[in-house]
Structure formats: C-alpha cells, structure tokens
Structure 1
Amino acid sequence: MRPRTLAAAAGGLAGMTVLGWVLRALDGLPASLGASVSAIAPTATGARSYRDRQFHNTEPAAPIVVRDNPSGLLSMIAGMREGRPKGSIPLAEPEQPAAPADLAVTWYGHASALIEIDGYRVLTDPVWSERVSPSRLVGPSRIHPAPVALADLPPVDAVVISHDHYDHLDADTIATLVTTQQAVFVVPIGVGSHLRHWGVPEGRIVELDWGCSYSLTDPDGARRELTIVCAEARHFSGRGLVRNTTLWAGWALVGPDHRAYFGGDTGFTKAFATTGAQWGPFDLTLLPIGAYDPHWADIHMNPEEAVRAHADLCLGEPAHGVLVPIHWATFNLAPHPWAEPVHRLVDAAAAAGTEIAVPVPGQRLDLRDLPPGRSWWEDMG
C-alpha cells in the first residue's frame, strides 16, 4: 500500500472513531430530554405564575446568558479547574433502620437525600447517574460515587423533585425507581409530563403549584398524616433550548410532630419568610450552598444566604433547628474551589448562632442524637 493510501485509510479510521464516539454521546439523548413543550403546556395552563407559555419568578431573576458574556465563560472555565478536591471524598455506608425515625436525614450527595420524618421516608431529587447531562458521555461527572446502590434504598413513601434540571431530575434514576419502589412522585407543575414521557404510571404522579399540598396517609393507621407542601422558590427550569416550561419549587414536609424543609435549588427569596410563617418553624432545613457565582446570584444561593434562609424558615430564629447543606461536593458546576462553600457556611453559621450538621456522603444523621461534628473536608482542598 502506498503512503497516500495508508494516510487515507488512517484518516478514514479516525473519522469512523469520531463518528462512533458521537453516536455513543447521542445515544439515549432524545428520551433524556423529556417531554416536549407542547406536551407540557396543557398541564401548566392556569398555574399562578404561568403566562405567555412560561413560568415566572415572583421576584425578577436575571438568567444565565453565556452567549452575551464570552469573557465570563472563559473565566468560569478557568475557575472550575479548582472545583475538584485534591483527595478522594470519604463515603459512609448508609444505615437503614427497619422503621423510619421521628427526624433523620441521609445525604447521598448533591441534592439527593432521604428524609425520615414522623415515621415516613421522603426521597429528594434522586440522581444516581454518572453525569448530569442529556448525554452519558458528555457533561459534568461525579466527583464521588453514589454511596449506596439505588436498588438498595429502603422503601420510601414519596419522591419529591424540586425542578427539571439534569442535576435534580435524572431519567435513568426515575426509570429504576419506578420498578424498585412503590412511592408516589410529588413534583411541581409540568414536571409530571417528563415522568409520563419516561413511563411513570399516572397514578403515581402528583403535580402541585406553589402553595398547594398533598398528604401521605397510612392505610393501617399506624402513622398520622404527613403533608407535603409545594413552596415557592426563585430559580428557572429547562432541559433543552427552551426555558421555564415547568415550575420549580422547594418542599415543606409537615408532620404531626416535626417539620422539615428541602430547598432543592434556589436563589435567596422573600418566599422563605412566607413559607416559614405558614408552615414553620422547621426542625430541619436542607439548603443549597454550592454552585454560586456573581453571574447567577439571583438563582443560586451562596452559603451566607443559606444561613439567612434558615433563619427565615425558622421564623427569624437562626438558632432553631438544624441546617444540613446540600448542592455541593458531588458535581463541579461553578467556578469556586471545592471546599469553599462549606468553609463559608461554617463561618456564617457560627456568626449567626445556627446549628449545622455536615454529613459525609452516605451518612445518616438522627436529629435526636447528632454525633460530634468533624471537618472531614479539610484535607481535600
């Protein structure tokens, strides 16, 4: 074979390799995107914040617009090099008692947690995939593994979803939960269309607007009612090129004896004080502290704002209840050092007199008997 022929053959091989990689990157992408805008719209019509075929924040929030700020994009990419720890993140083997506690939480990473409250188990924003992206080959990947297999979770009573972004709503995880759990999926308006698109039975989907609620009851009467309230948040939504076709929310879990709040993903908002006045004070708050940046300050809280939000949710009493930070440590989504969110949280909480508990991924915290805190993140940058 002559050199030119060899070169042509090599080029053709390389082209086939690239094409194969692209095809693998695109595999499953249409399904992962979820429901179409036309499929979502009928369920959204009539919602209090829905107009002009989009949902809107009560308080104006500037969106992330990368195309208008190319220099900011380059700065962000450079800054994100610091967003991974220097060492391996320790994992705890989750404890799974036979019966749910009065008030406990197991943090699996990012916004995925299992809240035990007054005998019920509620799973929040479950994401077990390797990447938070429509592609299985491209997009932010895990910094640490999931500390437990999805199929090994204990039986849960409800799955709550804060919004439809890929780091909070994962198609593969939902598909597995449909077969491994019997729980109902309680979601903001519009998100149910994604679940239907992925085969979740209609009878297991509950869609709620801000201020509306759904109650879990025990057919055997052994547990009293747990109310799940869809609380206003300040964020945005979208799994493709069109934004805000589905609603975003936080969740208040109101039991007969205890109250917990799950923040999902949100900017600081006056709605925290409203939620606290209506459904608080909360004994436990799970609030996002990571993936912040001045370019999207309206839609992602920083650690100091999380401490302020906790106080608002607890009726102005920052020392009431326990704040457990979420939305950090698992995915590199913003240009700040990996451990910066928790360092800032510790300082802000100390200044405010707020009790915090920072679990290792997989660690279960029983709020009746919290273990002594340890700064496990200090050796990892």
Structure 2
Amino acid sequence: MRSFGKPAQGERLERLHDLPLWDGERLRNIHPVLPGLRDASAPRPTIRDFVFGGADRTPPAPLPADDPRATWLKRPTSGLRATWLGHSTVLLEIDGWRVLTDPVWGQRASPFTLLGPKRFQPVPVNLRDLPHIDAVVISHDHYDHLDYPTIRALAKSEVPFITSLGVGAHLEAWGIAPTRITELTWWQTHRVPGTGLDITAAPSQHFSGRGLKDRNQTLWSSLVMQGERHSVFFSGDTGLTNEYEAIRDRLGPFDLVMLEVGAFHPSWGDIHLGPENALKAHAMLGGGVLMPVHWGTFALSTHAWDEPVETLLSQADPRYAHLLLPHLGQAVEPAERRPATPWWRSGDDRIERKHAVEPDPVETSEAERLAGSVPWPLD
C-alpha cells in the first residue's frame, strides 16, 4: 500500500499550518462557492455505480492516437507546442523548455490493483520514450494526477518536480530526492534552474487526499508556466471560482489555457468544472486558445465518456474560445489555430454502445466489499 504515500511532517507541516486555508485540522476552500454550482439534493454516486455504470461510460474501442516522437525531434515553429498524452498529462514545449503535467502512465486511478477507475485508453507513447524533460509539475495528490508507478519510474531520472505544498512528502516516500522537489503555495513562483522557465502556483477550488485519514492535508493548485515569450495556464482539478479573474490580472494573458472538462456531477459541481463551467472559467481567464483535459482516459463520473467534449464543442463560441482538440499524441501548436473536429466519433457508436473495459468477477466482488468504506469521489 505504498501508493497511499506519506503525510507531511516537520517544516513541511508547519508551512501547511501557516496557510490561510488551514482551519486547525485541515485545509479548506475559503473562496465562496458560486450560486448554482452544487446540487445538494443530488445523491453522490457510489462505488457500485462506477463499477456497474452504463455502457456509454467507455468508448467501444481504443481512440485514435498518434506517435509524437518524430515531431518532438523538431522545435516548434511558434515556440509553443502541446502534446496531449491522456487525461491531464500533457507534454508542453515552451520557448525551448519541456514541461510534463500530472504524469499518469498507471493502469488504475486508484490505490487498489483490483478496483478503481481503469484506464480505457493507453498512453500513446511509453514513458521511457519521452524526450528530455526540464520539469514535471503536479497539481495535487489525487490518484489520476499523482501516480505511484509513474513517479517510481521518474525517480530514476534527474528531472525536477514542482508541486503544491505537502505533495513532496509523497514524492520523497517514492524515491524522489528532496533536492529535486519544490513545493509552492498559491502565488509563489519558481524559476527552474538552468532554464528560462517560471512556474507559479495559483488558486483552485478542489480538495486533496489519498486515503481515509488524510483528507485535505496537502494543497491543491492550478499552475502557470511561463517562458520568455509564451505562457500556459493549467487548471489541475477545480470548480468554478472568481479567483480566475485574479489569475488573469496577475499572471495573464495566456497563449494556451488547459482546463479540466471531465468527471463532472451535480453533487460535486463546486469542485469540478465540467464543460459549461470550463467555458465560463476560460472567459474569466481572458479567453484565447482552449485545450480541454481530464477526459478520454478514465471513467471518473457517471456521464458518457465523450459527453464533456461533445458539450464543449456544441457550446463554445468561436468568437471567444478557439478550441484546440488534438488527437491523443498529436503535437500541436496553439498559434496554428487548427479547426476543431470531432475525431473521437466512430460510426454509430453513439447509437449502440458497449463497454471497452468490462468489470471482471474479482472487481465486482471488491466493489461490494469496499462499498461505503472508501470516500468518493477519489479525484
């Protein structure tokens, strides 16, 4: 159970206690929840709902994916390029430097090997085949953003990690040297040594925790990555908050805005955006090129797997939000402003769907055993 990680101690814990978000026992969101975000009457989905959910929660076959390795050998013409590798994992190339966001190559977004959201879409490139990475950024400690087997593999490299305060305790427990870890609180900026890359942690409206007893013991953040000429906003996980306007004023404008659109539900509308609120957040951030993340890899809510991106495509006004919708593994430059196309659609799969990942008998048994004992949502 090493995947649960380790709690913050010593100076790291003292820093957490000094945050305005600390209420004496845990961190909390202090920005008021905007009206209408959360439906208090909507029942929260259970583990059974996730295991035995509708057939449309996963695609009928693996999604199209590109191999980006040949493209990575050439510098982006504009100086900024993004390669979506699934869920919230993106390889960013910013003015000559490479940043990897929330890297997850594991098979489950879960502490359990036999239970929990199972990957329905493989990563389009092996972790060992990545080019040289100058920094890894991790927004918070949930399993679909902080992945134990991936961190263990990255521990063999020398890449530095920049993350939210408290998350470093997990990284150290998994073999990352303390000298490679920088933990930020909101509005703190770190210049990655030997680069022209600044990384700033900014507010988000979410929560943290990897087990039953560590709820909100580490910080959650959005992140801004700025090179000499380009700036990228990455939401991590968050609900809609007016703090986006402060982020725009202090750190904008942005050449690329990456916002989470998947895993939304009426009962947790205050901690996840979903596509409609992602468009509102994008407007608060100043508009520009919008690339949706946090979809297309894991079934983390009860909606159809493609509902987030279908809703986004139907509701985005091209006058204010240029959608960047690359294939998995497709290295794209936001400056090219490619037309958004629904590449994920396949024939009549929206008419007659089937599970791409069927629960096996062991998974079913584990769901029944653990139902009610594991907090949800896990991400």
Length-normalised TM-score, structure 1? 0.83
SS at match of 1:50: coil
| Counterpart amino acid of residue 343 in structure 1 | E
The SS at the match of 1:47 is coil
| Counterpart residue type for residue 120 of structure 2 | I
**SS at 2:332's partner residue?**
strand
Per-residue CA distance 1:258-298 (angstroms, 9 max, x = gap): 11001111111111111011010111011000100001000
The reply on whether 1:240 has 2:240 as its aligned counterpart is no
CA distance, structure 1, for counterparts of residue 97 and residue 116 of structure 2:
34
Matched, 1:346 2:302: no
Deviation at 1:85, TM superposition (A): 1.2
Equivalent residues of 1:61, 1:299 under 8 A apart: no
Amino acid in the other structure paired with 1:259: S
Give the secondary-structure state (helix, strand or coil) at the position aligned to 1:51.
Answer: coil
> Which of these residues, 154, 159, 162, is aligned with residue 177 of structure 1?
154
SS at match of 2:58: coil
Name the residue aligned to 1:90. 64
CA distance in 1, matches of 2:143, 2:54: 19
Please name the residue that 1:34 is paired with: 5
AA matched with 1:232: P
Give the 5 Å matches for 1:9-158.
29=1, 31-36=2-7, 41-60=13-32, 69=43, 79-95=53-69, 96-98=71-73, 100-101=75-76, 102-158=79-135
Contact 2:5 2:170 in 1 (8 A): yes
Matched, 1:265 2:265: no
Partners in 2 of 1:377 and 1:236 — Cα distance?
A: 30
Q: Go from structure 1 to structure 2 and tell me whether the alpha carbon gap of 1:159 and 1:43 turns closer, same or farther (over 3 Å shift).
A: same
TM superposition shift of 1:217: 4.5
Residue 302 of structure 2 corresponds to 335
Q: Aligned pair in 2 of structure 1 residues 284, 236: CA closer, same or farther (>3 Å)?
A: same
Q: Partner residue of 1:11?
A: none
For 1:358, the equivalent position in structure 2 comes to 325
- Could you tell me the percent identity over the aligned residues? 40
What 5-or-longer segments of structure 2 have no aligned partner?
351-379
Letter in structure 2 aligned against 1:216? V
Secondary structure at the aligned position of 1:169 is classed as: coil
Give SS of 2:72's match.
coil
Name which of structure 1's ranges 321-330 and 39-48 shifts more when overlaid on structure 2.
39-48
Shift of 1:339: 1.1
- Whether the 8 Å contact between 2:44 and 2:267 is mirrored in structure 1 is no
Alpha-carbon displacement from aligned partner over 1:190-232 (angstroms, at most 9, x marks no partner): 00111111111011000000011101243xxxx6x22111010
- Amino acid corresponding to residue 234 of structure 1 in structure 2: Q
Which has the higher Rg, Structure 1 or Structure 2? Answer: 1
* Count of residue pairs brought into register by the alignment: 340
Q: Structure 2 length normalisation: TM-score?
A: 0.83
Partner of 1:293: 265
Letter matched to residue 354 of structure 1? A
Is 1:212 matched with 2:179? Answer: no
**Corresponding residue for residue 285 of structure 2:** 313
1:331 aligned partner, one-letter code: F
Equivalent position of 2:341 in the other structure: 374
SS at match of 1:235: coil
Q: Following TM superposition, by how much is the alpha carbon of 1:157 offset from its aligned partner in structure 2, in angstroms?
A: 0.9
Structure possessing the higher relative contact order (Cα contacts under 8 Å, 6 or more residues apart):
2
Q: Structure 1 residue 165 and structure 2 residue 114: aligned?
A: no
Aligned partners of 1:100 and 1:121 also within 8 Å: no
Q: Which residue of 2 aligns with 1:4?
A: none
Distance apart, 1:80 and its partner CA: 4.6
- Give the Å deviation of 1:360: 1.4
Counterpart CA distance in 2 for 1:372 and 1:38 is: 49
* Compared CA separation, residues 104 and 41, structure 1 to 2 (3 A): same
Matched, 1:228 2:204: no
Show structure 1 runs of 5+ residues with no match: 1-28
Q: What residue number does 2:224 align with? A: 252
For residues 129 and 69 of structure 1, what CA distance do their matches in structure 2 show?
30
Q: More helix by proportion, 1 or 2?
A: 1
Query: What is the deviation of 1:100?
Result: 4.8
